[in-house]
Amino acid sequence: MQAVATDFGIEKALKALGVKDINEGTSTGSNNFSSGDVIESISPVNGKLIAKVKTTTRADYEKVMDAATAAFPIWRAMPAPQRGEIVRQFGNKLRELKEPLGRLVSFEMGKSLQEGYGEVQEMIDICDFAVGLSRQLNGQTIPSERPGHVMREQWHSLGVVGIISAFNFPVAVWAWNTALAWVCGDVCVWKASEKTPLCSIACQNIIAEILKENNLPEGISCIINGDYTVGEMMTTDTRIPLISATGSTRMGRIVGVTVAERFGKSLLELGGNNAIIITPTADLKVVVPGAVFGAVGTAGQRCTSTRRLIIHESVYDKVRDAIVGAYKQLTIGNPLDQKNHIGPLIDQDAVNAYLSAIERAKAEGGNVLVEGGVLEGEGYESGCYVKPAIIEAENHFDIVQHETFAPVLYLMKYSGDVENAIAKQNGVAQGLSSAIMTNEMKEAEKFLSFAGSDCGIANVNIGTSGAEIGGAFGGEKETGGGRESGSDAWKVYMRRQTNTVNYSDELPLAQGIKFDL
């Protein structure tokens, strides 16, 4: 790694996290380095180089897979509660390093420091969840129709789990997957976003230290780095029974098809186009912070970011004015300065997509309520700081139908009953997160019913973003259908097996079939 001088405490954070060598980028631990090309980690905060990281070559990848496949039978043979103990130690180490890791997340990705800390807290929380889960990987006993027989269902480890994560949550999404996969007896190979490679190296260093202290193989946790070509090594590899991929719908289509062709399993967490329905009885004290944070948190770069507000016509003007007024209070700047609400977009490509979305919305007839634009001058030298925009639009606009990974919020009216609002909310291709703001129980229950929201997440009187790890996270339609994190999401990291045991002296056949010899 070649670090540049900064004023944000990053050099200290990198030192605390053990990120110090330019060759890091492919690792089964801390000493197995890549010989590939160099990619640069540029901070969107100031537009300057943080580090150079080498990418994974095919030869490097094979070394990683050799280490992972060799580690799997050793890890699988450990009792699940003992695997949980390793995850507990990892969670405790994250508690110790929450400050430097959260700071690195903020600086490399651009989200606010509070959100950086929050992301590391998600890692800690999922470790706690996984530790408890390690004693609850339960099967079940099933009544048999045959006398003297018992049926059981049990779960076995899958093997090597491949994890492909996106830049916007550079550490938490990996932890959602890997903490559960580890207690299930799987080993993991992680390809982080090429836009945030240092976060993956930091995480790898942390777990590598835990594994070394416990005399466990480094191959239990591996990283690779690079662009989509490195990801293709994983998606086409029959040694990896499960690929968990987080990213765009376009990426998910490629991954899903490729993995399906070899009869592998995919866990896809893809795009969102999330809406909040605001009814006549909604409480503005809840609506405004929920909608504004949902729209501008992480500079609109969450898959659960609020993209659309669907507001009843009777309260439209009041809600619109309150939201516009709240936007005037937002501060934009260096995300490590906790006085700022919003940091930069990840890079210039994201800025261009943001500007294009605003122009397309205008061209389709949208009415701009809060002007967007790129900020210039002192503190904005990276060119990645933009102003959150609000645009009155119609749900059928082509640009509204697509996800823009930026702080662009569309406002639209609905009339009549809440069913009309639900139809608008569901009238997009994506189905990740949704919310309704109402104090009317009937409206809330309609929203949550089988005929209500078609999203994987449906909230009442909170926003669309900010999920807790206890619930399964994921969505429907073009969001991919996958589920990560809590509830029974652990089952995707294991294979199901049905057992039938005959403890009688006879051999009756199922369905009463006679086969006499």
List, by residue number, the catalytic residues.
269, 303
Concatenated DSSP letters for 270-318? ----EEEEE-TT--HHHHHHHHHHHHHGGGG-STT-EEEEEEETTTHHH
Give CA–CA dist 135/397, Å, rounded: 50
Give CA–CA dist 509/491, Å, rounded: 30
Give CA–CA dist 432/182, Å, rounded: 26
Among all chains, which residue has been given the structure tokens 């537009």?
47
Distance (Å) of CA 134 to CA 78, 179, 241: 11, 10, 21
- Provide the 8-state DSSP code for 59: H
Give CA–CA dist 210/232, Å, rounded: 29
Concatenated DSSP letters for 115-177? HHHHHHHHHHHHHHHHHHHTT----EEE--SSTTEEEEEEEEE--EEEEE--SSSTTHHHHHH
Q: Under DSSP, is residue 429 helix (H, G, I), strand (E, B) or coil?
A: coil
Strands 140-142 and 367-370: unpaired
Q: Which residues pair with 186 in a beta bridge?
A: none
Q: Is 465 left (phi over 0), alpha (psi -120 to 50) or beta?
A: beta
Strands 472-473 and 484-485: antiparallel
Q: Under DSSP, is residue 493 helix (H, G, I), strand (E, B) or coil?
A: helix
Give CA–CA dist 236/58, Å, rounded: 13
Give CA–CA dist 298/106, Å, rounded: 10
φ and ψ at residue 95, rounded to 5 degrees: -60, -40
φ and ψ at residue 495, rounded to 5 degrees: -110, 140
CB 21 within 8 A of CB 29: no
Give the sign of the dihedral formed by CA 455, CA 491, CA 480, CA 202. positive
